[in-house]
Amino acid sequence: MFDSILIVCTGNICRSPIAERLLRGVLPGRKIDSAGMAALVDNPADPGAVQIAKKHELMLDDHRGRQFTSALGRQYDLILVMEKSHQELISQVSPEARGKIMLLGHWVGAREIPDPYHKSQEAFEAVYRLIDQACQSWLLKLNG
């Protein structure tokens, strides 16, 4: 049903790359990518994100930030966002995508996942745990 998933955050250098790599690992054979609403285009993943990902055996070394566009949104069956504000921004840029946007934290109490950018490693760890919990809940729903 959902063969392609786009994960969206703000800058596409912290949260969405981590979620992208987590979901790719547990949903092989599906197209899973990420983008940002105010992406730091072509920038590598934030050092804090790289460090926390490595701690959890994920590699972000080859990640480069990418901007969300309406054309990009049309390429995916499901768009998962970190915050409700991302849903609204995508709806403004790409009204036709409205029906396929959901919070990554939808199945864990419709929880928004805060941005750890410029915060401590403890903040990155807490956000990683939220992303992992949300991805595991999506895995159950998508494979159930």
CATH code of the domain covering residue 50: 3.40.50.2300
Residue 143 has pLDDT above 90, yes or no: no
Residue 14 has pLDDT above 90, yes or no: yes
Q: How far apart are CA 100 and CA 110, in angstroms?
A: 15
Q: How far apart are CA 114 and CA 98, in angstroms?
A: 22
pLDDT tens digits, residue range 66-125? 999 999 999 999 999 999 999 999 999 999 999 999 999 999 999 999 999 999 999 999
Which pairs from 104-111 meet CB under 8 Å and 24+ separation?
Answer: 104/7, 104/19, 104/80, 104/131, 104/134, 104/135, 104/138, 105/130, 105/134, 106/134, 106/137, 107/134, 107/137, 107/138, 107/140, 107/141, 108/133, 108/134, 108/137
Count the domains in the chain: 1
Place 1 in a pLDDT band, splitting at 50, 70 and 90. confident
Active site residues: 9, 15, 115
This prediction's pTM: 0.97
Closest CA to 58 of 104, 118, 14: 14
Note down the domain range covering 24. 4-143
pLDDT tens digits, residue range 122-138? 999 999 999 999 999 99
